[in-house]
Chain A
Amino acid sequence: MDLVTPSIGLVFWTLISFLILLVLLKKLAWKPVLTAIHDRELSIEDALNKAEIAREEIATLTNQNESLLKQARAERDEILKQAKTLKDQIVAEAKASAQAEGNKMIEKAKTEINNQKMAALSEVKNQVATLSLEIAEKVLRNQFADKQAQEGLVTQLLNDVKLN
């Protein structure tokens, strides 16, 4: 049974070869390779973890940004609203003051006109009075110049007056 009888030579050389191979490969290949694979796996895991953290950070940042934006929007709305009320107020105020001013001026003008009118009227009155007096004087002077007529008139008037 040659097939199942191990020959001492092959046993010896296999043992030597295997042990040499084991020692050499352990030094030259398995140690560096396994360390490199292990290191790479660690670095990949590390990178993945970091990416996860970065993703979370970005998410929180986005959230923050969004809330900031919301806040900014609200603030803007608030400011706009305030501005609008302010504007309305100013316009109303302006309107009111303009109205008041106008009224005042109108009032002033009215008074002035009245004053002027009064002045003019009094002037006219004075003139009219003077003129009337002059006319009256002249008329009277003219009338009194004719004594006859006067006496006739007085007689007539006296006739008219009925003593009752």
Chain B
Amino acid sequence: MDFSHILNYKNFRLTTLLAVFLFFSSINSFAETPLTVPPHSETAAHNEATPAAEEKFDPTVTILEHISDTHSWHLFGHTAIALPVILFTPNGLDVFLSSKLVNEHHEAVAYNSGKNTYLNEEEHIKILAADGEIDEAASAHVYDFSITKNVAAMFIAVIVILLVFTKVASAYKTRAGKAPKGLQSFAEPFIIFVRDDIARPNIGYKYEKFMPLLLTIFFFIWFNNLLGLIPIFPGGANVTGNIAFTLVLSAIVLVVVNLNGNKYYWSHIFKPDVPFWLLPIMWVVEIIGIFSKPFALMIRLFANITAGHIIILSLVSLIFIFKSLAIAPVSVAFVLFMSVLELLVAFLQAFIFTMLTALFIGTAVEEHHH
């Protein structure tokens, strides 16, 4: 069927453009509202006005709280694991537990370490001046290297991965030449999958050099994704849905790809087959291309995992929005469905990230074919 006459209809085209524009602008405003309004101060104000009244449930605050990084690991109720706060301040290094920054009611309180007075404002540690006000100038020079919830969860994932794969490796030693068994037979198909379906077809015969990197990226992302899906303690952190995490991984990909780029790769960027007067434009385009590829990796993983967490949390939030237990079965059913889907996404995103990494490496080490 030919729809071109619809698109050629001038009036309709204008309307469509307007509709699309309005659609995006409305999404923007929807997305910005919860971010621009400081939720903490709102609830604080609300509490001051009617201290006895029940706290009003705001799903946006709850969801953003759950998917963002925190300085303490909330377990249940008023129980949280205190994590170390490590700060480089103008007055020197400061290390203390995050429990110092909250009182018994889990509210942020000021803490004087001897070097500075700190306050945890929206998970940003700020320095308080002598008058009790936030010293923005000093706070700008606070470099926060705390072991946050995400860092701790990532460490747990690292330990799990190390335990699993050292055990797998030892199984290969004790059962040399034999068929895989147990944990080994679980890991082997994935290792072979990364080798035969990701590395070999995309990189070619030089694949062996990049296997450790690809395998590490694959399992690091996958295990972190899976741990993020577990709602209770060892999991629950949105590690792979944090932009810092994906930024580091894609930066590593960027470095590896460009360090391994051969002369064909660089000549394709700096001496493409175009008329000479196009060269400056091509340089710009190609150099943007170098960075846009890992950038897409970063955004893809971050957006996919964060979106999954947001959907699941939104479905759970329905129960509290409607303040009715009747909605719970519906929520639980949808959450179950989404969780299963997220299990797939967890694998898929690890796969896609590794796959594209292999593809980018492949273009960098590819021999000339023209």
Interface residues of A (CB under 8 A from B): 1-15, 17-18, 20-22, 24-26, 28-34, 36-37, 39-40, 43
Bitwise, B43-82 to A at CB < 8 A (1) or not (0) is 0000000000000000000001001110000000000000
Q: Which of A3, A14, A20, A39 contacts B248 (CB 8 A)?
A: A14
Q: How many Å lie between the Cα of A160 and that of B145 in the bound state?
A: 195
Contact at B212–A22, with CB atoms within 8 Å?
yes
Residues from chain A with Cβ under 8 Å of B331 in the complex? none
Residue numbers in A under 8 Å from B192 (CB-CB): 37
User: Which one of B158-166, B280-288, B343-351 is at the A interface?
Assistant: B158-166
Give the CA-CA distance A22 to B217 in the complex, in Å: 8
Asked if B172 and A18 make an inter-chain contact with CB atoms under 8 angstroms apart, the answer reads: no
In the complex, the answer to whether B151 meets A29 with C-beta atoms within 8 Å is no
Asked if A5 and B243 make an inter-chain contact with CB atoms under 8 angstroms apart, the answer reads: yes
Q: Which of B214-263 touch A at CB < 8 Å? A: 215-216, 219-220, 242-245, 247-249, 252
Residue in A6, A10, A22 with the greatest tally of chain B CB atoms within 10 Å: A10
B151 engages A25 (CB within 8 Å): no
**Contacts A/B (CB < 8 Å), 21 sampled:** A2-B68, A4-B302, A6-B243, A6-B244, A9-B143, A10-B69, A10-B242, A10-B244, A11-B244, A13-B147, A14-B249, A17-B158, A25-B165, A29-B169, A30-B165, A31-B212, A34-B195, A34-B208, A34-B211, A36-B172, A36-B173
Measured between beta carbons, the chain B residues less than 8 angstroms from A4 are 243, 302
Question: With an 8 A cutoff between CB atoms, is B357 at the interface?
Answer: no
Measured between alpha carbons, how far is A14 from B122 in the docked complex, in Å?
Answer: 22
Q: How near does chain A come to B160, taking the closest CB pair, in angstroms?
A: 11
B177 at the interface (CB under 8 A from A): yes
By a CB distance below 8 angstroms, the chain A residues around B64 are: 2-3
A22–B256 alpha-carbon span in the complex (Å): 13
Chain B interface (Cβ within 8 Å of chain A)? 35, 64, 67-69, 86, 122-123, 143-148, 150-151, 154-155, 158, 161-162, 165-166, 168-169, 172-173, 176-177, 187-188, 191-192, 195, 208, 211-213, 215-216, 219-220, 242-245, 247-249, 252, 302, 306
Q: With A and B bound together, what is the CA distance between A10 and B241 in angstroms?
A: 12
Report B-chain residues with C-beta under 8 Å of the C-beta of A2.
35, 64, 68, 122-123
Residue of B nearest to A11 (CB): B244
Which among B148, B172, B176, B243 is the interface contact of A9 at CB below 8 angstroms? B148
CA distance A5 to B244 in the complex (A): 8
Q: With both chains docked as a complex, state the minimum distance between the C-beta of B297 and any C-beta of chain A, in angstroms.
A: 14
Contacts known (A7-B144, A25-B162); A13 close to B188, Cβ less than 8 A: no
From the candidates B123, B143, B162, name the one contacting A21 in the complex (CB within 8 A). B162
Interface contacts beyond A10-B148, A25-B212, A28-B169: sample of 9 additional A-B pairs, CB < 8 Å, sorted by A: A2-B68, A2-B123, A3-B67, A9-B143, A9-B151, A13-B147, A14-B154, A18-B220, A34-B208
The 6 closest A-B pairs by CB, nearest first: A6-B244, A10-B244, A36-B172, A29-B165, A26-B212, A14-B248
Instruction: Verify B244–A14 contact, CB threshold 8 A.
Output: yes
Residue pair A7, B69 in contact (C-beta under 8 Å): yes
| A30 CA to B209 CA, complexed, in Å | 11
Smallest Cβ-Cβ distance to B35: which chain A residue: A1
Given contacts A22-B213, A28-B166, contact A33 B252 (CB under 8 A): no
Distance from A136 Cβ to chain B, minimum over Cβ atoms (Å)? 134
Contact (A11, B195) CB under 8 Å given A17-B154, A28-B165, A33-B172? no
